[in-house]
Structure 1
C-alpha cells in the first residue's frame, strides 16, 4: 500500500513537472509581442494627462497650457519655444491680443500673456474685426517681426499687419498694414494667414491667403518686413475649385538635404474635417506638385484629391479621438523638423488644443508625421523583434476627410500578418524602415498596397505608456499611421 502511494505521488510530481515544462516551454517559443529591448522610449510627458475638456479652467489663463490654442506659429528664442496663436476660447468672446505660450521642451506649455490689448484702429476701421487671427513670428535684423490678421468673417475685408519688438515677449510696436484686401478691389487674394520664410538665398517671402482666390506668395523687403513691391499680391501657388472647397493656413519650409520647398495648407472646415496637405517644388514660387504630380492649383472637380494628406481627423482605441486637425505651423531646429496644428477632442469639438508632432522623412524625400504627439522621442534603429505584435493602423485617404477609425493588425514573427488570405507580409530594412504589403486583390495596383513606413518611438497618449509607431506612404502617396499595442 505504501509503495502504491509513493508511486502515485511520484507520478503526480512528474506530471506537474511536465505541465510546467510545457507552459514555460511554450512561453519561451511564443512570439514576444512586448519586446522593446534596445529602444529608448520617451518618458511620460507629465504626471497626469491634460484633460481634453476641463470647464474648471475656462477663466484661469495660467492653467490653460495647450487649451484654447488655435492657428499657432512656433519660434525658438532665448532657449524657449514660443507659440503665438489666434484669439480663442470656449463659452465667451475671447480677449483680443494674440495669445503667447512658451515651453522648454515642446511638450509642457505655460501661458505668457498677449501681444496687444486690442485690435489697432487702422485694422478695425478697415475690417470691423475685433479679434486677431493666425499670427506668424519671424526673426530678422536682430528683431522679431510679428505678422497678424484681422478680418470680417465671410468676406475679403481683411488686413495683414506687422508688429516689431526687440524682445520675444514684447513690448510690441505696431507698424501698420503689410497688405489689405476688400470685396470689389483689384486683388484676388484674401489678406489673412501670413506665413514667413526665407529662400535658400536669404530672401524673405510671405505666403498667405484663404478660400477666396487661393494661396499666394510675395516677396518682402528685408529691411522693413513689408512688401518688397507695393501692392503686389504675388504669385498664385495653390487654389481649389470654389468656396465649397476650403483651403487656408499656408506655410513653407525648405529642406537643404532634399533641395525642395514644401508647401503645407489646410483643407476643409476648421471644426471637424480640417486636414493638412503638402506638396513640393524646387522653386519657392512653384509650381507645387504632390506625390502624384498633381499641381496644387486645381480648380476641377478633382481638387479634393490634391496634396499629400499628412494629418487628418482620427480615433485610436480608448479615446474619443481628434477632429479639426488643421492650420499647421512648422519648426526646424538643428535638422529636426516639427509640425503643429489645432486639434478638437471628440467629446466636445469646441475645445481646441495645440498638438506638436515630429516630422520624419520618407526615403524619397517627403515629410510625414508621427501618429502621436511629440514627447521628446528620437528616431533610432529598431529590430524585427521590436516589430512583432499587435498594432492599430489608420489610413488617411485624400478623398475622405471624415474621422478615420483605427483597425487592428498583427505583425507575426514569420514576416506575415494575421489577414485571412495569408498573403500580406512585412519586412524590416535599414535601421527603422518597415515595408508592409497589404493584399487587396483587384483594388490595389498589382493586388498589393506597398507601404514604406518609418518606425519611431512615441508616447501613447491614449493608453499612457511608451510604444512604437509607424508613419509613411503607399505607392500612391496615401499615408498610413500605426501604433503598437502594449499588452
Structure 2
C-alpha cells in the first residue's frame, strides 16, 4: 500500500514569531460556558473550486496536505525562521473537511544536531540554517516517510533528509518521528555534470512500484532520482542516472517545488514557477505537465516538453491571493500557500490555500473567480419561550464560497466573542446556527455572522434574541 501525502518550503522573510500564529480572516471558534459544547449548524461539504478556510492558517509555507482515511486533514509546513519554536517542521490539522484548522506544534523541539554540525563545517564557522524546509510525507507499507530540507537561503548548499514514523496521530502512543539522516545533498553534479539544489523533495512510485524522488530548485531545474524501499534513500547510481524533468530555459531557471501524482494512467507534474518569498511582490504560480511514464517526458497542454521551457500555468495571482505556489495534492485537493493581500494587520502574510481540482479533457482545472464576500440577507431577530431553540440564518455570496462563523454579545454590542458553533462553508449561499436551549439568561443576546473567503471578510448586522418565560405570557 502506498499513498502520496506531502510537503513545504522556505519561510517568508522577516521574523514570523509564535505570536503570529493568529487566525487568518476569522478567529477560531471558542466555547462559551453559557452555551455548552460547540454545535455544527449544517453538514460540511468540499465543492469543486476554491475552498475557504478559517482557524489557524498562518504562517503556512509550502503545505504538504494529507487527507487521511479517518477524515482528518493534516498539513506539514516549513518551520519558523530564526528558529522560533525550534525552527522545525510545523503541523496543522482539520477535522471538518479542511474548513477549520488548528496548529499542532512541530515535529521536533529543535533542529537535529547533525545538521548544525554539517553546516558549521570543520572549523565551525559556517552559516547555520534558520529553519527546516520542504517536508514531503509518503506512506509505504505501514511506514510514513517524512522528507525535509535544510539549506542556506539563496544558495544550493543544501541537504534533504529523512525521518520515519508508524502513525501521523500525535496522540498515538507509538507516535515518534525517528530521524534517519541525509538522503541527497548539493552542491553535487547530477545527470552527467549538471548542477541542482537538493531541496523540495516529492515522492512518487512508478507503475512497477519503484520509488522516485523529484527534487530541485533553480540551477538546472527539476530532476527525478531513484530511491529504494524500505530504506527510502537513494538507489545505487541515482545521481548519475537522474532524469532531467523541468528546465525553464531562461536566466536563473526559476522553477521549484515538484510534486507528481498519478490519475487515470497519467502522471501529473506540478511545479512552482517564478519568485517565492517576497510577500506581496511574489510572482509564484503553479504550472503543470503530464506524462504516461513517471520518468517523462512531461508535456504541457500545447505539447511542449517541460524540460524545454514548457509548462501550462494552472494557478496564479488573483484578487487577494498573491503568489500561490509550494503546492501538493491529496484526495483531489490542491494545497498551496499564498501571500494574503486581504490581511490588513500583516499584509502579505503567508497563508494556506485550498482548491478542489476539477478535470477537463484530462487536465486539472481551478477556479480563480474573485468575488468578495457579501451578506445578502442578515439574520433576523428571534423571539422564543425559555429553553426552546432559536435559529439564526444568513444568506451570503462570494467566490470561493465563504466560510461563516458566528459572534455573540451580551452587553448590547460593546464586546463580541466567538459563538460555540462549528464553522461552515456557505456552499448553497446560506448558513444557520440554532441555539438549542435559549435560557432566560440569553434574553437580549445579540448575534451576528462573520462571512469570509480569501478575498475579504464582512460581518452582518446583529440580530436580537428575546426569550420569554416558559409557558407564560410576554415578559
Structure-2-length-normalised TM-score: 0.61
Q: 1:184 to 1:367 in 2, by over 3 A?
A: closer
Q: Which of 204, 208, 224 is the equivalent residue of 1:201?
A: 208
* Counterpart among 305, 315, 318 of residue 314 in structure 1: 318
Q: Which residue number corresponds to residue 301 of structure 2?
A: 291
Distance 1:75 1:465, change over 3 A: closer
Residue 466 (structure 1) shift = 3.8
Q: CA deviation at 1:109?
A: 1.2
SS across alignment from 1:283:
coil
Which of 78, 93, 97 is 2:88 aligned to? 97
Q: Are the equivalent residues in 2 in contact too, given 1:458–1:467 (CA < 8 A)?
A: no
Alpha-carbon distance, 1:370 to partner? 3.1
Deviation at 1:203, TM superposition (A): 2.1
Between 1 and 2, higher relative CO (CA 8 Å, sep ≥ 6) is seen in: 2
Aligned to 1:459: 401
What does 1:69-80 align with in structure 2 at a 5 Å threshold?
Answer: 69-77=60-68, 79=70, 80=72
The C-alpha deviation readout for 1:2-27, integer Å capped at 9, x for no partner, is xxxxxxxxxxxxxxxxxxxxxxxxxx
Q: Distance in 2 between matches of 1:177 and 1:56?
A: 28
Matched ranges for 1:435-454 at <5 A: none
The aligned residue for residue 323 of structure 2 is 324
Q: Which residue of 2 aligns with 1:177?
A: 182
Q: Distance in 1 between matches of 2:189 and 2:299?
A: 31
Which residue is 2:223 aligned to? 216
Structure 1 or 2: larger strand share?
Answer: 2
Q: Deviations over 1:320-346 (max 9, x none)?
A: x111211101113xxxx1100001111
Tell me which residue corresponds to 1:351. Answer: 349
Q: 1:368 aligns with which of 339, 342, 365?
A: 365
Aligned equivalent of 1:34: none
**Where in structure 1 do 4 or more consecutive aligned residues deviate above 6 Å?**
60-64
- 2:263 maps to which of 255, 272, 284: 255
Q: Alpha-carbon deviation of 1:460?
A: 4.1
**Larger gyration radius, structure 1 or structure 2:** 1
CA distance in 1, matches of 2:194, 2:300: 27
Counterpart in 2 of 1:427?
none
Distance 1:263 1:98 in 2: 24
Which position in structure 2 is the counterpart of 1:68?
59
Correspondence for 2:110: 118
- Gaps in structure 2 of 5+ consecutive residues: 1-15, 29-54, 120-127, 373-398, 405-424, 430-475
Note closer, same or farther for the CA distance 1:151–1:459 as it changes in structure 2 (3 Å cut): same
Judging changes above 3 Å, is the alpha-carbon distance between structure 1 residues 56 and 180 closer, same or farther for their aligned structure 2 residues?
A: closer
Question: Equivalent residue of 1:328, what SS?
Answer: strand
* Equivalent residue, structure 2, for 1:431: none
Look up the SS of the partner of 2:357 in the other structure: strand
| Residue 190 (structure 1) shift | 0.8
Q: What are the Cα deviations for residues 239-272 of structure 1, in whole angstroms up to 9, with x where unaligned?
A: 122454410000001102xx21100000111132
Higher relative helix content: 1
Measure the CA separation in 2 of the matches of 1:367 and 1:184.
34
Post-superposition CA distance 1:153-172 (Å, at most 9, x none): 12111000000112213421
Q: 1:280 to 1:349 in 2, by over 3 A?
A: farther
SS of the aligned residue for 2:228 comes to coil
| Structure 1: gaps spanning 5 or more residues | 1-53, 316-320, 372-392, 395-404, 407-456, 469-487
Q: Is the 8 A contact 1:261 1:281 kept in 2?
A: yes
User: Cα distance, 1:365 vs. partner?
Assistant: 0.5
Judge conservation of contact 2:200–2:216 (CA < 8 Å) in 1: yes
Deviation per residue, 1:375-425 (Å, 9 max, x gap): xxxxxxxxxxxxxxxxxx57xxxxxxxxxx99xxxxxxxxxxxxxxxxxxx
Local SS of the residue matching 2:234: coil
Count of residues paired in the alignment: 315
Cα distance in 1 for partners of 2:151, 2:227 equals 21
Alignment partner, residue 338 of structure 1: 333
CA–CA distance in 2 between the matches of 1:92 and 1:58? 14
Give the aligned partner of residue 151 of structure 1. Answer: 151
Indicate conservation of the 8 Å contact 2:188/2:196, yes or no.
no
In the alignment, which of 271, 276, 290 is matched to residue 265 of structure 1? Answer: 271
For normalisation by structure 1, the TM-score amounts to: 0.59
| Alpha carbons of structure 1 residues 60 and 361: separation in structure 2 relative to 1, 3 Å | closer
Q: Is the 8 A contact 2:88 2:106 kept in 1?
A: yes
Give the Cα separation in 1 of the matches to 2:189 and 2:209: 35
Matches of 1:119 and 1:147 in 2, distance apart?
14
1:126 partner SS: helix
